[in-house]
Chain A
Amino acid sequence: MNEPVGVLNNMSAPPKSVVRYSGLSSLVQQLGPGGSGVTSLRYRNHEQHGRAIRFELPVDFGVDSPTDILQGLGLQHENDRDGSAARHLIQLINKRASELPLPEGCAVVKSLQSHPQLWPDPLAAIAALTKCTDTVWLRGKAPTLSNLAQRRNVSLLVPPDFLEQLKKAIS
């Protein structure tokens, strides 16, 4: 029995489509090199791993001394000659820090107005600011009150695994 040939393949013709997996190479951009041989390289990734939370002190909140800070928190303390105001303040800061549903340590990231401020109370902001270094916030760190003179806001990056815990605490 004779059957007609269904499809004729021209093996020498190039394929009509090329499938190429580029993965994350799209994060990389490159201009050139042109005739000069100079090339401009750029790496850009908009993804953020986790969620940044902003802490900010109210504009008019005084931070000149422990008594000032206590006063701003609505607590009276006459003077700090014996260091009792500072001790009291540190106790309050440690207590507030222990209540924040954050991991024990977080990265400090560039603070943006767009970051949500979940705890607007000044003591939470003080607990965040005084337990920070330039790069990390540590719940167990002894508070550094002088940090308050240098910055009034900070954003902490909460990793994805802790976001559920954060959601529960907020709701």
Chain B
Amino acid sequence: MNDVDAPDHSGWLEPLGLIGMQSIEAPLLAALVTEQPLLLIGPHGTAKSLLLGRVAAALGLSFRHYNASLLNFDDLVGFPVPTPDRTLEYLKTPAAIWGAGAVIFDEISRCRPDVQNKLFPIIHERKVQGLDIEGLRYRWAAMNPPTVGADEGDYAGSEPLDRALADRFAFVVQMPSWAAFTPSQKLAVIQAANRTYGPQDASVLSDSLYLARGLLQALQKTCSASAADYVFALLPLLAQAKLELSPRRANMLFSAILAVHASSLARQPDTAFGDSALLALRSSLPQRAEGIAIPEVKLLAAHREALRTVSLSPHDPLRAILATAEPLERLKLAVRATRLPKGEFSRVIADSLAQLPIGGREAAIVHLFETGTVGRLNAAVASQIGESYRDIATPADFSETIHASHGRYRTWSRLKDLLARLNPADPRAHLQANALAALFSRKALQTPEDAEGAFHAYSQTDALVRRT
């Protein structure tokens, strides 16, 4: 066995017989430190229930493990019995939630919506039927990846979690896949003996928890501003990537970053803030429970951008630009920020143009050339947009032979109708006509609706950029 493949005994999961989970150790510890709700998502057999059960046992907690798909609400609260003073009291059965230190709702995505609604206050505020559940500290749940729409996946019974319920889990952690295990980890899992774990195996976990709690207190004083800046910049960037986060989630993410960083530092004292922030982000996205695909490249790009703002001065214009979700507004802000360095300016413009709709992008490019702003761009970005501008601003002539039954013919006919709305005496109308014709010739307009959309996007963007 080589060094790279050697089992890592420095964490707290392996002493509990939980192999191959180092990548999620910090968010799991963060969930324990903060006592915030934790949801594990993974295919069957990835040790979700085992993990939660062993952690509860190791912490010596009185815990209840419910299969949410079979759950009857009476199982949770016990049977109501009238009291002499004409109120109701719940008969506390051994399976009832009263007195539990931790509760695990397994298969939460398979339970009926009415039961989900009843679990909501337990997860959110440690209450059932309006009554506080004394002593309940940890609320955990597990589910298989949800199946969405017509996608016939392996988990037809696993429904996307209700958005509001998903948003109550501070940590939404994806289980490591078997493919990511090293050979020695796979062998260790295959040969794992079935034995009972308890508080006697929890010394590393207890030490880690103690250390992480202390570090978290320190980080709340020294690192809060950076975490807040990061989240502030991140939200609009994620919105651009179609990953909207609620204000509640923004607050949860802020706390999660500090807790994950404290948990990471407890194990690896030289962990960079950025690495912890990314890990916290990946472990805090409720969309995973809703069956919404996370665009990993966009997530990483948003993280990097947000991380850069942490080091910016409060008066740096880039801070405001990065915090603006709407691409055209971002472009306009960048154009106004004349002291923005060439590299930054070029990056903001390139990103904004890439996010503008077809037609709107062409109008913005015209604006950059007509105002001479293109001179502030680096050669790579300027060259790229120069080609579009040349097609729009210079005499145009192209022809194409197509069959009248072809879809492009209908698009062409629509384009002709749209051009009929433009005023021949207005030079800017010619720019718009050329832009649409160039988009058609480049096959960027596939349908009549595309042509209509591009026409309106051009008109709107042109009006907006000229107003500034």
Residues of A near any B CB (own CB < 8 A): 21-28, 30, 32-33, 37-50, 103-110, 133-136, 138-141, 157, 159-162
Q: Are A24 and B394 in contact, CB atoms less than 8 angstroms apart?
A: no
Q: Answer yes or no: B409 CB below 8 A from chain A CBs.
A: yes
Of residues 78 through 132 on chain B, the ones whose CB sits less than 8 Å from some CB of chain A are none
The stretch of B243-251, B255-263, B295-303, B399-407 in contact with A is B399-407
Question: Known: A24-B419, A37-B405. Contact between A104 and B396, CB under 8 A?
Answer: no
Chain B residues near A (Cβ < 8 Å): 342, 369-377, 379, 382-384, 386-387, 389-390, 392-405, 409, 412, 415-417, 419-424, 427, 429-431, 433-434, 437, 440-441
Q: How many contacts A-B (CB < 8 Å)?
A: 159
Q: How far is the CB of B117 from chain A (nearest CB, A)?
A: 57
- The docked-state distance in angstroms from the alpha carbon of A32 to that of B405 is 12
The docked-state distance in angstroms from the alpha carbon of A32 to that of B382 is: 40
Main secondary structure of the interface of B (DSSP, over half): helix
Q: What 9 pairs across the A-B complex have the smallest Cβ distances?
A: A104-B375, A135-B386, A103-B372, A105-B375, A105-B374, A136-B386, A33-B404, A25-B420, A23-B420
| Bound-state Cα–Cα, A37 to B406, Å | 10
- A162 / chain B contacts, CB cutoff of 8 Å: 372
B375's nearest neighbour on chain A, judged by CB, is: A104
CA distance A159 to B371 in the complex (A): 8
Contact indicator A45/B437 (Cβ below 8 Å): yes
Q: Is the CB of B382 within 8 A of A136?
A: yes
Q: A24-B433, A138-B382, A161-B371 are in contact. List 4 more A-B contacts (CB 8 A).
A: A27-B437, A33-B404, A49-B393, A135-B384
**Beta-carbon contact of B420 and A136 below 8 Å:** no
Q: State how many angstroms separate the Cβ of A21 from the closest Cβ of chain B.
A: 7
Contact B395 A45 (CB under 8 A): yes
Which residues of B lie under 8 Å from residue A138 when comparing CB positions?
374-375, 377, 379, 382
Known: A37-B405, A45-B434. A140 touches B416 (CB 8 A): no
Cβ–Cβ contact A38 & B402, under 8 A: yes
In the complex with contacts A39-B409, A157-B393, A45-B370 CB distance below 8 A: no
B429 touches A24 (CB 8 A): yes
16 interchain pairs (CB within 8 A)?
A25-B419, A27-B433, A38-B401, A38-B403, A39-B402, A40-B400, A45-B395, A104-B374, A104-B375, A108-B386, A108-B390, A109-B394, A134-B383, A138-B379, A140-B375, A157-B390
